[in-house]
Structure formats: C-alpha cells, structure tokens
C-alpha cells in the first residue's frame, strides 16, 4: 500500500468513528513510521509530500505534538520553494541593474534616512505596509459583505490603498538597496509581486469608476492574493534573512569587568577590534579617553573596527552610517538602531570592558 493510500485509510476509519483527534494521531504515527523506513530514500514525490504537508499544518496549528524531524519540515512546501528562490542566481543581473538605478535615486543622505526610519529609531517600511494592506482588505470586506450602500466606501479604500502603496514602495526600495545575494533576490521578487498588486488595485479602481463593478471586485480580489504572496516573501526577508533587524540584537558581551587588550595597543584615533565572549568590539581612544562599542554595525553587520573616525563618531565602511563613540547613538543612517556601547576602563595597563544595559531578550531564556 502506498504512503498516501495507507494514511488516508487510517484517517477515514477514525473519521467514521467521529474522533478527528484520533485520526490526526494515527496519521502522525503512520507518517513517523514510514519516515523512519525511508530515511535516505531520496527525494519526496509530490504524492508523498501531501500527508507530510498536512501534518506540518496540523502541528503548526497546535492540534498535535510535532512528529516530523526539523530537516523534513524544512523540505516541504513554501519554505523549500522560497529557499530555491533565494538561490536563483539567474535573478542577479536584473537585481543588480535595478539596484543600481535605485541607488542612483536614493543616495546616502537625508532622503535615505527618512525612508529608512533613522528619524524613528525603527525601520519605517514595516509600519507603512499596514496602510495599503489594511485599506485593500477593508475594501474586500465591504465588497463581500457590505451591500450596495458600501460600494463607494470600498472604491475609496481601493484608491487610498494605491496612494498609500507609493511611500511604502519607496521605503522598501531604500532598504532593498543595501541587500546582497539571496536577500536581494527575495527582495526583488517581493517588490515585483507588490508592484503587480498595486497595478491590479489601480485597474480595479478604474474599473469601479467606470461602473464595471464585477470586474473591479475581481481585480481587487486577485490583488489581495498577490499582495499576500508578496507579503510572505517580505516575512521571509525579515524573519529568516534578518533584513531590517538589529544585527546585534542577541549579542550579550561580558557582564563583569573583563580585560580585552593592553593599553599600549589602542592608539589615539585608530579604531581597534577585539573579541570577548564571542562578541567583537571596537576600542577607540580619542583625546586620551577610551570608548568601546559593538563592532558589528546594527544596520547590516558592517565591521566598525574597520571604520573611520569623524567628529566624535565612527563611520561604518559599508553604507556610511555614523554612530557617536560615547553612547552609540545614530547620527547618520541608514542605520536606525544605536550601536551597543560598553563601559570601559584602564587597570594596570590593561583595558577592561563590561556591557552597560542588558536587555531581557538578549540575556534570558524566553
């Protein structure tokens, strides 16, 4: 009996008994058994993948305890397809050309800082995203349940969503301009999906204005699906690839005073990198005073110990973000998050550091 057939028969049997939870457990046990039988047995076929995908879904919903090994979970469904997209080097020539054009328009400076969220202390793109999506989903709700009186409001929401998508796209482009490799490929497809959704919503608005309501509703429903798929890739960019995430978020550094370098090795005006407790720091001596910051730039991880000093700031060599050396605050973006600053002192010819303000998430189990 094939895996699909055997699993379905167990599920049917238990469903007849009106015990869906028993059916799920039986499927889980069956797949676990067959999984161990086929370890190393080559690629999963589509038909074999079906019950596995079902299990991933019911387990994800918390209905049953996880049964599939982590490696198997990674090898099914959307995650696998997204990883393939991440590795699709064929996208690179297009991505490189488009990125060059974006960089020519959104240069380092005030416009880029505004679009990145430097003024807010948080990436601005995730905040803006909620405006068009919220407007479009509200329009769909009115289309499907609001009746004739809601038609005008639904049409306005579709148009408002298109307008809100413009600054959202600009902020996304600013973030994307500092990506590379897999992030850049996923970001490109994410953007193309969103542009397609904007085009569909724009066409929907025009159709509605011309009295072609059914066509307009159909176009906006299609736009909802496309923006949802593009949103999945946006989630992958943030949660799997860490674009927009403070790259020092999980760095802890030493809690107690710890010697990291001899005083004579840190020269006036020359940033110097040291490693302590698995964290790289940059030590700086300015006018005889010592400073210590995390060396991994909070923006995209650039090496600040290879940066330059400028007006009381250290400038990242990658995208030129500037951080004050005394407290790590951002003076110039595209970085949005301050650089972690460490307490520093000299004792018996040695430089000692300890972290300043541990955050709960960085030091404790969650």
**Residue 341: CB partners within 8 Å, gap ≥ 6?**
291, 292, 293, 294, 326, 327, 328, 356
Q: With binding defined as CB under 6 A, does residue 319 bind ligand FES? A: yes
Whether 87 and 182 have beta carbons less than 8 Å apart is answered as yes
164 is a site residue for ligand FES (CB under 6 A): no
Q: What separation in angstroms does the CA of 86 have from each of 64, 92, 193, 279? A: 31, 11, 15, 28
DSSP calls for 271-306: -EEEEETTEEEEEEEETTEEEEEESB-TTT--BGGG
How far apart (Å, rounded) are the C-alpha atoms in residues 353 and 276?
Answer: 9
- Region binding ligand FES by CB under 6 A among candidate stretches 122-130, 224-232, 266-274, 299-307: 299-307
Minimum separation from the CB atom of position 108 to ligand FES (A) = 9
Q: Which is nearer to ligand FES, 201 or 243 (CB)?
A: 243
Residue 115 makes contact with ligand FES by CB under 6 A = no
Query: Which one of 335, 336, 344, 351 is in contact with ligand FES (CB under 6 A)?
Result: 335
The reply to whether 296 sits near ligand FES by the rule CB under 6 A is no
CB of 179 to ligand FES, least distance (A): 10
Please identify which residue in 300, 324, 332, 355 interacts with ligand FES, judged by CB under 6 A: 300
Of residues 103 and 354, the one with the C-beta less far from ligand FES: 103
Asked if 256 and 354 count as a contact pair (C-beta separation under 8 A), the reply is yes
Q: Among all chains, which residue has been given the structure tokens 């595209």?
A: 334
Q: Binder to ligand FES among 114, 281, 292, 316 (CB under 6 A)?
A: 316
Neighbours of 9 (CB within 10 A): 13
Between 217 and 284, whose beta carbon lies closer to ligand FES? Answer: 284
Catalog residues that contact ligand FES under the rule CB under 6 A.
Answer: 178, 297, 299-302, 316, 318-319, 321, 334-335
């Amino acid at each position: 009996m094939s895996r699909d057939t055997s699993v379905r028969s167990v599920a049917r049997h238990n469903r007849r008994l009106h015990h869906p939870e028993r059916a799920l457990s039986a499927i889980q046990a069956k797949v676990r058994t067959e999984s161990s039988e086929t370890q190393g047995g080559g690629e999963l076929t589509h038909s074999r993948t079906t019950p596995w995908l079902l299990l991933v879904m019911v387990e994800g919903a918390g209905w049953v305890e996880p049964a599939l090994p982590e490696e198997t979970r990674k090898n099914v469904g959307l995650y696998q397809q997204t990883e393939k997209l991440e590795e699709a080097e064929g996208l690179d020539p297009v991505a490189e050309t488009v990125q060059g054009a974006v960089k020519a328009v959104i240069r380092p400076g005030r416009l880029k800082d505004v679009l990145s969220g430097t003024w807010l202390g948080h990436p601005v793109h995730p905040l803006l995203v909620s405006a068009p999506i919220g407007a479009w989903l509200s329009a769909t709700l009115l289309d499907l349940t609001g009746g004739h009186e809601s038609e005008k409001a639904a049409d306005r929401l579709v148009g408002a969503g298109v307008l809100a998508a413009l600054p959202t796209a600009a902020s996304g482009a600013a973030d994307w301009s500092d990506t590379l490799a897999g992030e850049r490929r996923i970001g490109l497809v994410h953007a193309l999906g969103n542009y397609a959704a904007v085009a569909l919503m724009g066409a929907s608005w025009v159709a509605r204005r011309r009295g072609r309501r059914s066509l307009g509703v159909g176009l906006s429903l299609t736009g909802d699906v496309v923006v949802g798929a593009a949103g999945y890739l946006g989630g992958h960019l943030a949660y799997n690839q860490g674009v927009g995430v403070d790259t020092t978020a999980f760095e802890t550094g030493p809690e107690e005073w710890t010697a990291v370098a001899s005083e004579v090795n840190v020269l006036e005006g020359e940033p110097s990198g040291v490693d302590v407790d698995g964290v790289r720091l940059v030590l700086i001596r300015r006018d005889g005073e010592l400073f210590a910051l995390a060396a991994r730039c909070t923006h995209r991880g650039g090496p600040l110990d290879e940066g330059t000093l400028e007006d009381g700031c250290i400038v990242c060599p990658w995208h030129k973000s500037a951080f004050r050396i005394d407290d790590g605050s951002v003076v110039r973006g595209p970085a949005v998050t301050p650089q972690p600053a460490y307490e520093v002192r000299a004792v018996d010819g040695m430089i000692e550091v300890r972290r300043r303000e541990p955050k709960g998430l960085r030091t404790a189990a969650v």
